Amino acid sequence: MIPDKYIELINQEIDGVNSPKESLELKQYLEKNPEGKRCYEELRELCGVFREVKEVAAPPNLRELILSAISRQDAIPDVDEGRRGFIASALAGFRFGFKKKYAYIFAAGLIAGIVLFTVLSRIAPPPTPDDLEKLYGTISLEKSAMGVATVVPVDFELASVSGSARFRYMTGAIMTELNLSSEAPIEVVFEYDEKVSFDGFRALDKGIYDIRVAENSAELSHLGDGNFLLIFKDGFQSPIMMKIFSEGDLVFEESVYPGRK
């Protein structure tokens, strides 16, 4: 058994930080203690092994990848804001790299809009059978003044995850607000047809997540509590299939489309 003091001196000697006095003290200890000497020799060998390990060459195109990713971010504010519509400019703001404070302001505005919409919907008189203007079913839309069709929120309360997803169909885009709370790792997968494409993502909290995008799907891996915004390009008000996986098993599935009740 080597005393802690000498373990420290052995390691410091290997790192070259012992004072002459400490080095001498260690030398005297090692001369009398074969176990300590073996430990010192082995650690010295180990450090020699580290020195023999060569540096790994970075991929030759890495710098270009980094700089082009940064250029893409910089390109967003360069678009002529004046020529962009309100929604288009709001959507661009939620792409990667946008300043967080604007994201919060926009999210707060959206939430206020939802609350207002909900309140106004509840106080409106119920539709009567002869009032066809107010009738809506699977193909009609709930219209707001901005031409935003809000689909009934998808709420889920499962063993592995709880939360909600709110989909807004806008002109040319679908905005999805996702609220998740999970104690175990989960994956939320959005599947869509070729008329839809992924356009942007924003995590509104610091948390553990990862997003992978394929041709017809976007997959968000998540752990803990988090709020996210996902934006899809869509010109046809296409349906989106939302699936939740926990430990590889499908635990929730819901198809979302305008007019869904």
The DSSP call for residue 226 is: E
Gyration radius of the chain's alpha carbons = 29
Single out the segment in contact with other proteins by CB under 8 A; choices: 50-58, 129-137, 170-178, 189-197. Answer: 50-58
Classify the C-alpha dihedral 54-9-42-37 as positive or negative: positive
Between 47 and 115, whose beta carbon lies closer to other proteins? Answer: 47
Amino acid 153 reads P
| Strands 154-157 vs 149-150: parallel, antiparallel or unpaired | unpaired
Which parts of 148-207 interact with other proteins (CB under 8 A)? 184-185
Distance in Å, CB of 28 to other proteins, minimum: 21
**DSSP sequence for 154-209:** EEEE-SSEEEEEEEEEETTEEEEEEEEEEEEEEEEEEEE-TTEEEEEEEESS--EE
Does 111 sit near other proteins (CB under 8 A)? no
- Selected binder of other proteins within 59, 82, 125, 126 (CB under 8 A): 59
Single out the segment in contact with other proteins by CB under 8 A; choices: 41-49, 101-109, 141-149, 159-167. Answer: 41-49
Which parts of 84-103 interact with other proteins (CB under 8 A)? 96-97
Between 4 and 130, whose beta carbon lies closer to other proteins? Answer: 4
Cα distance between residue 226 and residue 223, in whole Å: 8
Greatest CA separation for the chain: 103
Cα distance between residue 93 and residue 90, in whole Å: 5
Does 58 sit near other proteins (CB under 8 A)? yes
Cα→Cα distances 31→2, 28, 133, Å: 13, 5, 98
Between 11 and 171, whose beta carbon lies closer to other proteins? Answer: 11
Does 210 sit near other proteins (CB under 8 A)? yes
- Selected binder of other proteins within 46, 75, 111, 115 (CB under 8 A): 46
Distance in Å from the first CA to the final CA of the chain: 72
The DSSP call for residue 134 is: G
Does 221 sit near other proteins (CB under 8 A)? yes
Single out the segment in contact with other proteins by CB under 8 A; choices: 60-68, 78-86, 193-201, 226-234. Answer: 60-68
- Selected binder of other proteins within 5, 63, 143, 195 (CB under 8 A): 63
Question: By the criterion CB under 8 A, which residues form the site for other proteins?
Answer: 7-8, 11-12, 15, 17, 41-43, 45-47, 49-59, 62-63, 65-67, 69-70, 73, 96-97, 184-185, 208-210, 221, 223, 247-248
